Amino acid sequence: MKNAVLATPKAAPGAEAPQRTAQGFLGLSAKGLAELSRKNIWSLSEAELLAAQSYFKKEGRDPTWAEMETVAQYWSEHCRHKTFNSPIDYSEGGRTRRIKSLFSETLAKATKELKKPWCLSTFKDNAGIVSFGKSGKWALALKAETHNHPCALEPYGGAATGLGGVVRDILAAGLGAKPVLATDVFCFGRPDDRKPLPEGAVPPLRGLLSAIAGVGDYGNRLGIPLAAGGLYFEDGYRLTPLVFAGCAGILPRWAVGKAAKPGDLIVAAGGRTGRDGIHGATFSSVELDGSARAAVQIGHPINEKKILDALLQARDRKLYRFVTDCGAGGFACAVTELAVVAGGARVDLSKAPLKAADLEPWEIWLSESQERMVLAVPPANLRALEKIFADASCEIVVLGEVVRSGRITVEHGGLRVADLSLDFLENGLPRAERKAVWRAPAAAKTGKAALNLGAGRRCAEILSAALAHPNVCSRESVVRRYDYEVQAGTVIKPLQGVKHDGPGDACVIWPRAAVGETEGFAGFALSHGLNPAYGKIDPYWMALACVDEALRNLVCVGADISQASLLDNFCWGSPDNPEVLGSLVRAALGCYDAAMGFQTPFVSGKDSLFNETKNAAGKSVPVPGTLLITAAAPVRDVRKSVTMDIKAPGNPLYLLGPTAADLAGSLCAEILGIEGAGLPHVDPKAALKGFRAVLAAMDKGVVLSAHDLSEGGLAVTAAEMAFSGEFGIRLELDAIACKGVIYSPEALLFSESPSRILLEVPADREAEFVRVAKGAPVLRCVGRTIANPILKVKGLDGLSVMEEPIAALKARWQKTLTEAFA
Amino acid sequence: MIESSALDNGAARLAASPRATAAFYRVEVSLKRDLPDPDGARALALLHAAGLSAIKEVRSAKIYAVRGPLTLSHVHQAAKELLCDAVTEDYKILSSQTPASGSRRVRVEVWLKPEVSDPVEDSVLLAFACAGLPKPSSARQGTVYYIEGRVAQATLEKTLVRWIANPLIHRISAAPSA
């Protein structure tokens, strides 16, 4: 077998940097190519390497190192979403069918079929863009990203740059949006986990605290409210945590489109280029084994703030025609993307401002140094652009120009570093074929088998354990680390209630500072849905449950879900494993059915695969298949927004939606140590009717508080509403509308049937509420608020099931993370 | 894995940089003793979580390594006006450290490795210039932990690299402190 040689000719003193070429590349066997790819973390498959070899054979030369790195970055899973865009033979229930493109046949298909006129840009830009407000002048950009691999190695820097990256996505949506909301969701091992870890692994508690500090330190300096998020703990994340960061921004409608033209200058703005973060894009396609540590990056939020301020000024003066951010792959991906849009580009890397003078040209091209943007600027506007950026103490430099050559040409001084056909980069990627298998779980888990909760534990004990569970307990010690008030538009905050410490369902943002209007009261709400426990049983129903939960959270604050938009974030293990891929396919199919059922399109999304780490025994451990759904919807009048805390005694409590014995994957089942039967099955049509009825009632002002039922079911929801409002609640279990016959108070209190909301209605307007909300298929009065600060539950036999002081319940709920972090 | 010298490699890089004629200073900024120290408390919680329950207290401080055409008087002025909040913090300009043998107090310095960008550097350089002081040629910021309690040096070092710092990006030094 021949070996390719990395050849670096010696340069004469004072001469240009030497060229590195992959000498002998054209003559390598498939095995030799694979070895070369592995050594250099290119993460290219055999077919991809052979396609590259064939291209360079036609070119009649070995590739330069920068060219191979460009191919690797541009064809990476991170940049091209190969698994979602390649054919899959999917087997389920003994039948196999071919999916030509999972993306086109699920997520994009739903968006295409729903054809919502308010979707302005979906799946093609750095973020999804939808219309905003009544005036027709504004749009809302939405994006959620993951930064899992960097966070597994260096959680502080990884989480910080994850947030920085998604903020830049919003700055690069259309011609740039002003960020008005940031979000974060963390999935980690339990904070009390002290089990042995393999060498180099970060303990979950330390990882979580570092990630929180990273997001806080970066986000707080940017002046963007971080007002929505979540935490999820489970053993499956102890080696590979998941870190999601999201952002929403406002931009003028005229700035939604962008197109560079030949003759435009290619301008790099922001931070200097250093030797940090090289191979981030390809690194995210490999299992974490400690071999790819150069990918760690450290953020510089002050530089990002300078870019933010300068860029939006330049946008409003229409000084540039195209903008994108330098994310994974650095200039190699950003400039190539621009070149693809414009038909070609030529750049000279010797112009790039550097952190270290000894960077080789291919390193400048590949570096993922943070806080950099690439713009296409008409030459006549350059001076004005330079003035704006200079005033913000932000460096910009002309790297090259847009040319209609059909190629990306990269030079360093007089040296040709790369010269690649865009047609090859765009269309030369061979489509891998994969196999996926889904095996249905045992009937006991999914079916509606009779319950057996005879564990001898009282409902009060289960409730106490549920409230103290890390996945339910108070997040105040995390939320308070973030500035969620900056910009003065956070109408509904993450913490609510009398003492501003209750758990909100969604945040409501009134972006008046961004739109410069104080007359209208148009805002938007944003929420999340995530439940990996359901995914372990059936990812299809997990997907529906996540969409249902995210939309339900929006309903709880009064957002208009008829114009809701969804973002998807899939985090899975290696798609090379047919069973892992099978569960991913099943979740994507669930997303399609959820989007169609709820009539709600996906506008953007991201997949992060290969989330696997070797454990101490050397075995690859994938994360649980995890789907994060982010939902956003307009709030027509932010003054009508609703919070979750009980407002007064003597008010009736209505429960929207039927209750079934849905305990598979539930918190109650986990607490009792039982498998539980009945995975929640969402009926989107019925759910939507109920949600619309609730929104109609909220619009009339006949809902005082609303809170969704999720982990821990009715009991946890009632407890949280009670102690947040500091009034008691009396529930009557025989008033609950059941699907099937349920005799167990535990099932009634802790079932996690989907699409349910508990509502507080003003006693003097109850009749009006019932009339307005008559469209809800199932809506029952199940109790009343009381002055006595207790949670009292009357069982089916009329006897008391539970009578707990709400102060004690709150104390249990509040102490878990406080103690873990102390 | 842990440097035995009290002077870390990041700061050492500055000290030994080619501009040897420029002066090199290290300034330590800590919260006043009577104020709560959340970073120290968090480090203590992590060390306890790691099983080092014999550790009684951790106090934290920031440390700056600055090189440039500066006099001691310049550095005092910068420490007072730029690096330290005089209401809540104290500063000291460090001379070379002499490890105090037999002490139960360990002083740990954590610095970003020389090849890792330090986002604080730009701010420090700019602040010196804005204050009318000579602009340093370079600056780095690190963190200092004073760890009080009886614990074997080897155990502490092993725990520090897993729970307090990250050897991927950090250089760590630990030495007994008076």
Query: Which residues of B fall within a CB distance of 8 Å from A159?
Result: none
Nearest CA in chain A to B168: A293
Q: Kindly report the CATH number assigned to the domain that includes residue B90.
A: 3.30.1280.10
- Going by the DSSP 8-state scheme, the letter that residue A577 receives in this structure is S
Residues A645-654 have a mean pLDDT of: 98
Nearest CA in chain A to B38: A822
May I ask the CATH class of domain A440-468+643-822? alpha beta
Structure confidence at residue A295 (pLDDT): 57
Residues 347-386, chain A, touching B (beta carbon < 8 A): 355, 369
Residue A210: name the closest of B178, B169, B155 by CA.
B169
Structure confidence at residue A10 (pLDDT): 46
Q: Which residues contact A53 (CB under 8 A, 6 or more apart)?
A: A25, A26, A28, A33
Least confident window among A325-329, A337-341, B67-71, B138-142: A325-329
A78 close to A285: Cβ distance less than 8 angstroms: yes
Distance between CA atoms of residues A151 and A165, nearest Å: 13
Flag if B162 and A203 touch (Cβ within 8 Å). Answer: yes
Query: Which residues of B fall within a CB distance of 8 Å from A156?
Result: 166
Structure confidence at residue B67 (pLDDT): 94
Measured between CA atoms, how close is A353 to chain B, in angstroms? 14
- Going by the DSSP 8-state scheme, the letter that residue B107 receives in this structure is E
**Single-letter residue type at B28:** E
Instruction: Tell whether A205 lies on the interface with B, counting CB pairs under 8 A.
Output: yes
Q: Where are the domains of chain A?
A: 440-468+643-822
Q: Domain tally for chain B?
A: 1
Distance between CA atoms of residues A127 and A246, nearest Å: 10
Which listed residue (A78, A149, A528, A707) is catalytic? A78
Kindly give the pairing relationship between strand A800-805 and strand A790-794: antiparallel
Catalytic site residue A149?
no
Flag if B49 and A203 touch (Cβ within 8 Å). Answer: yes
Residue B137 lies in a domain: yes
Query: Which residues of A fall within a CB distance of 8 Å from B51?
Result: 194
Residue B23 lies in a domain: yes
Residue A780: name the closest of A733, A743, A744, A742 by CA.
A733
Stated pTM of the model: 0.91
Q: Which of B111, B117, B126 to mutate to test the interface with A (most CBs of A within 10 A)?
A: B117
Residues A694-721 have a mean pLDDT of: 97
Residue A697: name the closest of A764, A754, A636, A775 by CA.
A775
**Single-letter residue type at B103:** S
In this model, does residue B3 exceed pLDDT 70?
A: no
- Going by the DSSP 8-state scheme, the letter that residue A100 receives in this structure is S
Flag if B117 and A821 touch (Cβ within 8 Å). Answer: no
Instruction: Tell whether A303 lies on the interface with B, counting CB pairs under 8 A.
Output: yes
A130 close to A177: Cβ distance less than 8 angstroms: no
Q: HEC string of A394-421?
A: CCEEEEEEECCCCEEEEEECCEEEEEEE
Secondary structure (3-state) at B12:
helix
A676 close to A666: Cβ distance less than 8 angstroms: yes
| CA–CA–CA angle B113, B118, B120 (5° rounding) | 140
Structure confidence at residue A528 (pLDDT): 97
In this model, does residue A777 exceed pLDDT 70?
A: yes
Write the DSSP string, B123-136.
Answer: HHHHHHHHTTSPPP
B93 close to B147: Cβ distance less than 8 angstroms: no
Nearest CA in chain A to B123: A302
Residue B111: name the closest of B18, B31, B50, B28 by CA.
B28
Nearest CA in chain B to A200: B162
Of B51, B126, B169, Cβ closest to residue A296: B169
Size of interface A-B (CB pairs under 8 A): 54
Of B50, B162, B168, Cβ closest to residue A153: B168
Instruction: Tell whether A822 lies on the interface with B, counting CB pairs under 8 A.
Output: yes
- Going by the DSSP 8-state scheme, the letter that residue B121 receives in this structure is H
The percentage of residues in chain A with a pLDDT greater than 70, rounded to a whole number, is 93
pLDDT tens digits, A490-543: 999 999 999 999 999 999 999 998 888 767 899 999 999 999 999 999 999 999
Which listed residue (A147, A412, A469, A707) is catalytic? A147
Q: How confident is the model at residue A654 (pLDDT cuts 50, 70, 90)?
A: very high
Query: Which residues of B fall within a CB distance of 8 Å from A301?
Result: 119
Q: How confident is the model at residue A674 (pLDDT cuts 50, 70, 90)?
A: confident
Catalytic site residue A147?
yes
Q: Is A223 exposed, middle or buried (0-12, 13-18, 19+ CB in 10 A)?
A: middle
Residue A558: name the closest of A507, A621, A496 by CA.
A507
In this model, does residue A8 exceed pLDDT 90?
A: no
Look up the ipTM and state it.
0.80
A535 close to A627: Cβ distance less than 8 angstroms: yes
Of B46, B119, B123, Cβ closest to residue A298: B119
pLDDT tens digits, B8-18: 444 544 554 44
Distance between CA atoms of residues A189 and A337, nearest Å: 37
Measured between CA atoms, how close is B177 to chain A, in angstroms? 26
- Between A753 and A674, residue with greater pLDDT: A753
pLDDT tens digits, A162-216: 999 999 999 999 999 999 999 999 999 999 888 888 887 889 999 999 999 999 9
- Token pair for residue B102? 């037999």
Residue B2 lies in a domain: no
Distance between CA atoms of residues A240 and A234, nearest Å: 11
Nearest CA in chain B to A819: B45
Structure confidence at residue B7 (pLDDT): 41
Residue B32 lies in a domain: yes
Residue B26 lies in a domain: yes
Q: Cα-atom radius of gyration of chain A, to the nearest Å? A: 27
Of B50, B119, B169, Cβ closest to residue A154: B169
Write the DSSP string, A335-384.
Answer: HHHHHHHHT-EEEEGGGS-BSSTT--HHHHHH---SSEEEEEE-GGGHHH
Distance between CA atoms of residues A31 and A578, nearest Å: 24
Measured between CA atoms, how close is A571 to chain B, in angstroms? 25
Distance between CA atoms of residues A229 and A181, nearest Å: 11
Q: Cα-atom radius of gyration of chain B, to the nearest Å? A: 16
Distance between CA atoms of residues A3 and A24, nearest Å: 7
pLDDT tens digits, A139-166: 999 999 999 888 888 899 999 999 999 9
Residue B90 lies in a domain: yes
pLDDT tens digits, B91-135: 999 876 555 555 678 999 999 988 888 889 988 999 999 999 999
Q: Which residues contact A218 (CB under 8 A, 6 or more apart)?
A: A159, A160, A161, A163, A164, A299, A301, A304
- Going by the DSSP 8-state scheme, the letter that residue A174 receives in this structure is T
> Which residue has 């970055």 as its token pair?
A73
Flag if B168 and A293 touch (Cβ within 8 Å). Answer: yes
In this model, does residue A598 exceed pLDDT 90?
A: yes
Residue B3 lies in a domain: no
A471 close to A233: Cβ distance less than 8 angstroms: yes
Instruction: Tell whether A276 lies on the interface with B, counting CB pairs under 8 A.
Output: yes
| Chain B contact residues (CB < 8 Å to A) | 41-42, 45-46, 49-51, 112, 115-119, 122-123, 126, 162-163, 166, 168-169
Q: How confident is the model at residue A286 (pLDDT cuts 50, 70, 90)?
A: low
Flag if B46 and A209 touch (Cβ within 8 Å). Answer: yes
Query: Which residues of B fall within a CB distance of 8 Å from A209?
Result: 42, 46
Task: Tell me which residue range forms the domain holding B27.
Answer: 9-176
Sign of the Cα pseudo-torsion (A35, A41, A45, A48, in order): negative
